[in-house]
Structure 1
Amino acid sequence: MKIEILSDEYWWGGIVHEGVYMPIGRKDNFVFDFRDQGTPNQVSPIMLSSKGRYLWCDNPFCAVIKNGMIDTDEIVEQGEGYGTLKGAYLAAMKLHFPMDTDLVNPLFFTSPQYNTWIELMYDQTQEGILRYAGGIIENGLPAGILMIDEGWAEDYGRFSFRKGAFPDPKGMMDRLHELGFRVMLWITPYISPDSAVFRELDAKEYLLKDSRGETAVRRWWNGLSAVLDLTNPGCSGWFEEKLRDMMEIYGVDGFKFDGGDPNMFRNGDQTFQPSSAWEQTRTYGLFGKAFPLNEFRAGWKLGGQPLIMRLADKKHSWDKDGLNMLLPNSLVQGLAGYIYHCPDMIGGGEYLSFSENADSLDQELIVRYTQAAALCPMMQFSAAPWRVLDEENFRIVKQAVKLHVQMGEYIHSLAVRSAQSGEPILRLMEYEFPGQGMELVTDQFMLGDEILAAPVLEKGAVAREVKLPLGNWKDDRGELWQGGKTVSVKAPIDRLPWFTRMIN
């Protein structure tokens, strides 16, 4: 079906990883391919317009934008007459991904998160984890959620810590709790083939089968694995029991649910309950709801769910694959209903990029990345900032962390409100201020309806332009500004420009 793009109309689509290319206007050529199973982040089959229109399809579809027209390969639902981007979002949300009112743990918003990935990578050990956690406290950063990343187990599907590397995992957990951390453990729905667990689950028919009825062994970034068939209640019960045992035996508080990407599934797979590739990704997300401390990177039609959704790993760079992808993609997360969202690890979590630059890490980039994340709903460290930064830059990073903590109660209050209203916590300027020429502004954002953040995203910049909406604004230094115009703001390396909306 064909839909004409109106004059001065702009569109966003629910493909988070492509947020950096949005919005798309009448003169642009673009393809929103919701069928692409290679996308590394969350997807919702929705398109939203600055003129108060939306498109929705329960199934994956493709929308080609060319010559001022949107051409879809499926019959899609059209919502019309909602006036603004906000109006279109709220109408679509209420119909297609209404909010689950279960609340997310406040600690996600009030304290930083720390992930052991960049520091330890595949060599996760008790000694290394305790050293990392101790360094956080000793260097004056607040405790928060600590995520133990991949490499803690011998095999995928084994639910015990590697012997030798973890001589006393329960003691390690107790110590982390004493330091003030809540601890999450990396996990996937994958099972190492030719293992005892594989044989057990294969006999129970708990593993995904391909179109021929053979147990599927699929390639992912760590090699070849079988996949749990979580449409099978027996399988999901087995998986939940194993995770609950980890909580009971070791004191684990929650889980980082990695993997589950749609490219691990096929539409012809034989599952206990008939399920498309995309629906299997959704099933994995819904499984994680049972654990209040959760984090996901992949998702399909999971808008409105009480799930923490992190951006895909970013490169240690300033360009659109690194820092400059952070805000546009985060803002699209909100429009797709993934309102509890976390930026990628500060400085970039794509470990190959980080390793390649290990001898020449860009300290300015890490500082600006921290500032960009400071007024997001969540912020997450992995590379130890006290190790990779000099004293002055580390001081600036701690300053940004302090701001996030000071804003924590406000951010959490927004999350509580969002659980009722469905509104994003992080908002596009166009969402909050329609009709003021904000459609193309993606390098500044609103935190709720009161705080405007304008982080520096350009290397070497010591000032930036900020498009202030109508009204009166007070900046982070107490200076008053009249809105309705673009202003130039000084932004040396130790400043994150942000503004408070003054309500008369």
Structure 2
Amino acid sequence: MRWRPLLCGATASLVLASAVTPAEAVEDGLTRAPGSVTFSVPRTFGAPGYQLRIDTGRLGVTASRGGDPLLRTAPDAFTFGGGVATGVRSVTKQNGTLVAVAGSTTGRTVTLRLTPKADRFDLRWSVDGEPEGDRATHFDLAASGQWYGGGETSEGKQQPYPLSAGAVDEPEFSPASYMMQEPYFYTSKSIGVYVRTDQPMKVALGGGRADLTVTKAGEYSSTVFVESSRRAVYDDYVGEVGKPEKSDATDAEFASPLWNSWAQYYRDIDQDKVLKWAGDLKAAKVTGHTIQLDDKWESNYGNLTFDAKTFPDPKSMVDSIHGTGQRFGLWTTFWINLDSANYAYARDHGYLVRAKGDPAKPCTVKWWNGTAGIIDLANEAARNWYTGNLRGLMSKYGVDGFKFDTRFFDDSCATSNGLTPRDYQKLGADMADGFDQQGAGIRTHWGNQRYGFVIRAVDADASWGGLRTSLRRSMAISGNGYPFVETDMIGGSNSNPPPSPEVLVRWAQAASLMPLMYSSTSPVSTVDTTTGKPVTYPAETAKHYADAVRTHAKLAGYLKTQVRQAVADGSPIMRPVFFDFPGDHRFDTIDDEWMLGPALLAAPKITEGTSRDVVLPAGLWWDPGAKRLVLGGGTLHGYPAPLGTTPMFVRIGAPGSASLIADLSR
């Protein structure tokens, strides 16, 4: 616990005269100079101190330390409904809050409130007489170094790393999004920006600026963390939104893979294929804890009944899976297609989310499987009906758990009972928390860290680029306070042709050095669903895949400790190297190395070839592959990484390092 005093002061006023005095003037902690007013936050135990400057020629804010800018707004700092804040009329200090009153291009008055504390400041602004709508704050990217956070960029888009290294355009950055997104960003200068809103946002980074827009807002409200390290910023954010109260996954689900049918067969699935797939995996010694049947097991989407044509005897299928020592699960959604028998029942009983502008009608949405209504989770009777159907499947067939897919809400629909899109996230999380999610987790976000769900990255291409993007997404999710992460299905799952043997193996190797492994494409054989032709992998593919599974199993004891730590204090398990080595800025842009807990540096090969450069942080490291000690602080050029090798290094002296070396040497 860091002791941090709050900063407050007596009410004082500093009115800006039309004729600016060249010399600086100090009044109650405010320093006035031509074009600016500055307030200094002193350094305290555990907090580095900073200065806040309000630019008065055109309203703007700069946070700095020792003359170095840490965060600076762009010239058009604050915009709303076609208007832009302009010159400042006055600055007052009221009970520890700096209040700047400015004009705007629309003639309305803009009021900015900054409340400084030892390690952060609240930044809020509003427009007098302006109806609720968009409120945007614009930042200069260069002043803050590199930008990270935010979560996943939209499916089908490349995920830049850092975000500021590419272009981000998310006009539907929302609590209702299918993407794992959080209104939180942090920078290489140890600044964090947490936007406080329950409504959708618009987020854009590029062209040297970051534009963070809240919608349906009367006030823009945010907290800016000002720290000496990025890990400290993370801790501040988790302190605001909450840490996991438990791990939703079991020890077994951390220790071995979940096998889900989606990328193996997509929708061309039946009972015989499921049993052959499971049998081939067992023969290749790449089994896991669960076999999970994904999309297209239902008679129609939303019916929650097996399709009798393709699954004539579901009970015997489930019994066969149980006979291998594995559990069985089903994919399910909250969306009911209009041609489903359950749609009419749900509609007639008022169980569906309502349409905007016409509460007498259900809202209809288009998704990847047709047109549907959405179960209204705000309706207790609807929730009970839906969960009753799920429990019926468990009772009748022996189903052990579920993969919950799609979203809990859609922004095109109307909420019920005055709830917000963020409220629907919580309702969905509460409902899903009553079932075993089998390591597939659920895509719930926007402040739902406390549930401790496993979080899977969104669908990625079955390619080298898909592997890199999925790792970037996993890192972003973990850095947002969700420590129990996994990539998309190993090998990718974006309805592409199957991955090459090399992509499949390298993906499995990378996933083996993460908290959980989420598998689908069999390393024995699969089907190219774009052509309908079978694909058989070379025998070494299954061997290398099985080796990756065994490597992950060796980490089980270490991961168990990291899970306990995450529940204790919110520590991310998979994290950027700079979280543990804050002064090593070589890692600001490295996306193919990460720390797994405090003792293991993961450096898997995620591109073509048989070698890679490995950047090692300072310290002494154990190389399990070469069985040798390596002095860190430099770069291992051309480190050998043939297909069967997964580069990793154990940090000597770090918590858990001794047992980790012993386990990896088995």
Partner SS for 1:44: strand
2:640 equivalent to 1:493: no
Mind listing any 5+ residue stretches in structure 2 that lack a counterpart? 1-136, 215-219, 526-535, 655-666
Q: 2:428 aligns with which of 278, 284, 287?
A: 284
- The worse-fitting range, judged by mean Cα deviation, of 467-476 and 2-11 is 2-11
In the TM superposition, what is the alpha-carbon distance from 1:28 to its structure 2 partner? Answer: 7.0
1:452-475 Cα shifts (integer Å, max 9, x gaps) = 11111111x211111111100011
Instruction: Specify which structure has the higher proportion of helix.
Output: 1
Amino acid at match of 2:192: Y
Q: Quick check: 2:442–2:453 contact (8 Å CA) kept in 1?
A: no
2:567 equivalent to 1:419: yes
In the TM superposition, what is the alpha-carbon distance from 1:164 to its structure 2 partner? Answer: 3.6
Aligned equivalents of 1:118, 1:442: Cα separation in 2: 25
Aligned equivalents of 1:67, 1:133: Cα separation in 2: 49
Question: What's the % identity of the aligned pairs?
Answer: 26
Aligned equivalents of 2:195, 2:592: Cα separation in 1: 29
TM-score by length of structure 2 reads: 0.69
Change (3 A) 1:55 1:8: closer
- 1:92 corresponding residue in structure 2: 237
In the TM superposition, what is the alpha-carbon distance from 1:36 to its structure 2 partner? Answer: 5.8
- 1:201 corresponding residue in structure 2: 346
Aligned equivalents of 1:197, 1:67: Cα separation in 2: 49
Aligned equivalents of 1:502, 1:171: Cα separation in 2: 51
Change (3 A) 1:7 1:265: closer
Map 1:317-336 to 2 at 5 A: 317-319=463-465, 322-336=466-480
Partner SS for 2:276: helix
Q: 2:539 aligns with which of 372, 391, 394?
A: 391
Q: 1:450 aligns with which of 580, 596, 599?
A: 599
Amino acid at match of 2:369: N
Q: Quick check: 1:153–1:160 contact (8 Å CA) kept in 2?
A: yes
- The worse-fitting range, judged by mean Cα deviation, of 304-313 and 424-433 is 304-313
Of structures 1 and 2, the one scoring higher in RCO (CA 8 A, sep 6+) is: 1
Instruction: Specify which structure has the higher proportion of strand.
Output: 2
- 2:583 corresponding residue in structure 1: 435
2:164 equivalent to 1:14: no
Q: 2:268 aligns with which of 118, 123, 137?
A: 123
> Rg bigger for which structure?
2
2:487 equivalent to 1:343: yes
Q: How many residues align?
A: 491
Change (3 A) 1:192 1:4: closer
Aligned equivalents of 1:28, 1:150: Cα separation in 2: 34
1:265-318 Cα shifts (integer Å, max 9, x gaps) = 42xx33433334454345323321111325346333123322221111111211
Q: Quick check: 1:337–1:422 contact (8 Å CA) kept in 2?
A: yes
Q: Quick check: 2:401–2:436 contact (8 Å CA) kept in 1?
A: yes
Q: Quick check: 2:193–2:225 contact (8 Å CA) kept in 1?
A: no
Q: Quick check: 1:143–1:180 contact (8 Å CA) kept in 2?
A: no
Amino acid at match of 2:148: W
1:113-137 Cα shifts (integer Å, max 9, x gaps) = 1111233322332222122112111
Change (3 A) 1:122 1:69: closer
Map 1:199-348 to 2 at 5 A: 199-211=344-356, 212-213=358-359, 214-260=361-407, 264-266=410-412, 269-277=413-421, 279-294=423-438, 295-296=440-441, 298-301=443-446, 302-319=448-465, 322-348=466-492
Q: Quick check: 2:195–2:223 contact (8 Å CA) kept in 1?
A: no
Amino acid at match of 1:105: T
TM-score by length of structure 1 reads: 0.90
Amino acid at match of 1:328: R
Aligned equivalents of 1:273, 1:311: Cα separation in 2: 32
In the TM superposition, what is the alpha-carbon distance from 1:67 to its structure 2 partner? Answer: 7.0
Amino acid at match of 2:297: W
Aligned equivalents of 1:143, 1:379: Cα separation in 2: 9
- 2:629 corresponding residue in structure 1: 480
Mind listing any 5+ residue stretches in structure 1 that lack a counterpart? none
Amino acid at match of 1:238: W
- 1:405 corresponding residue in structure 2: 553
1:332-372 Cα shifts (integer Å, max 9, x gaps) = 01011222112111211112x12xxx5xx521111111111
Aligned equivalents of 1:228, 1:107: Cα separation in 2: 32
In the TM superposition, what is the alpha-carbon distance from 1:29 to its structure 2 partner? Answer: 6.4
Aligned equivalents of 1:71, 1:119: Cα separation in 2: 40
1:5-58 Cα shifts (integer Å, max 9, x gaps) = 575732212222368313245x87655656368964211111122333211123
